[in-house]
Amino acid sequence: MVNAMTLSNSALLFAGQGAQFVGMAADLAAAFPVCSALFDRASQVLGWNLGALCFKGPEADLTRSDRCQPAVFVAGLAAFKALEARAPGLNWAAAAGLSLGEWAALHAAGVLSFDDTLRVLEARGRFMQQACEERPGGMLCVIGLSGEKLVEVCGRTGVEAANYNSGEQTVLSGERDRIADAGRVALELGAKRAITLNVAGAYHSSLMSSAAARLEEYLGGVAFQAPKIPVLSNVTGGPHGDDPAGIRRLMVRQVTSSVRWVECVGWLRGRGVTRYVECGPGRVLSGLVKRMDPESAVLNVQDIASLDKTAAAVSAG
């Protein structure tokens, strides 16, 4: 058994939308009853077979926001539960996640129940898809451009900063024609790359305002609790407080606000975190953290192979 104090310098991370793939968490569900039970319960709550979608697809359905968001949440939670089963007694300094991953972090910290988190994410995905259809937009990943020049790109083209992913990578959101303009301007100003992302809309921008309004109304009937460990807010870059109403307000704002991932990681580093464990499909957050904190230990759990490696590492202290 792992000493509960051995992970007091470790942060728990949860992946966001876009990390999904057909087959995610299938081997974890087959190997761990606690994981298969999560998928069974999710299917009962949602009224459709979430396990079949995650394990077998089709990919087109898995990419739908109202399907993808609960699916990535459950896959990430299955990875977390598998790690707990393999290395019991873990003690986390904090939890964080990117966009929908923040909801998984809140659940892991005891803020929302499993059932409520599932329902919120299905509704959130549906509201975001509606907003995409009402106000079509896109997103642009800009690599290698200073903050001052990014401000210039936004000012000249009318786009907004959506994700501060690392010192080298920022994602912009806006109307589709403005995204094209932003790509040209970013390259003119010296960006190494400007990549138009294959997404349904302009997430984490003012174009999502209708989704935020619908989510605010929906969350009025959802019970929130104070977190048992610090959970980093995408909106502020610092930890949520203990006031459930304050957490609810920030999670509404998160839909239209920039994701301050650089500040989240900075807060964790400043509090002595030296090890990060990403739970869920892909290794996007692991890669971002490693760029910002090269000396840290970065681990992940998304399948049996990565579980074996991570469980051995945390058990070693």
> What per-residue confidence (pLDDT) applies to 246?
98
**Fold for the domain defined by 136-196:** Alpha-Beta Plaits (3.30.70)
Compute the residue count for the chain: 317
- Weakly modelled stretches of the chain, pLDDT under 50: 1-6
Q: What is the pLDDT of residues 242-290, one digit of tens each?
A: 999 999 999 999 999 999 999 999 999 999 999 999 999 999 999 999 9
> What per-residue confidence (pLDDT) applies to 315?
85
Locate the DSSP E strands across 64-185.
Answer: 94-97, 138-143, 160-164, 169-174
DSSP tag of 301: E
Residue type present at position 25: A
> What per-residue confidence (pLDDT) applies to 1?
30
Q: Which residues are catalytic?
A: 99, 204
Q: Taken in order 172, 175, 181, 184, is the CA torsion positive or negative?
A: positive
Helix, coil or strand: residue 174: strand
For residues 254 and 235, the answer to whether their CB atoms sit within 8 Å is yes
Architecture of domain 10-133+205-253+262-315: 3-Layer(aba) Sandwich (3.40)
How is the chain split into domains, by residue range?
10-133+205-253+262-315, 136-196
User: β-pairing, 160-164 with 169-174?
Assistant: antiparallel
The two domains 10-133+205-253+262-315 and 136-196 share their CATH topology (first three levels equal): no
Separation CA 128–CA 132 (nearest Å): 6
Q: What is the pLDDT of residues 43-67, one digit of tens each?
A: 999 999 999 999 999 999 998 999 9
Phi, psi of 2 (to 5 degrees): -75, 135
Separation CA 11–CA 50 (nearest Å): 28
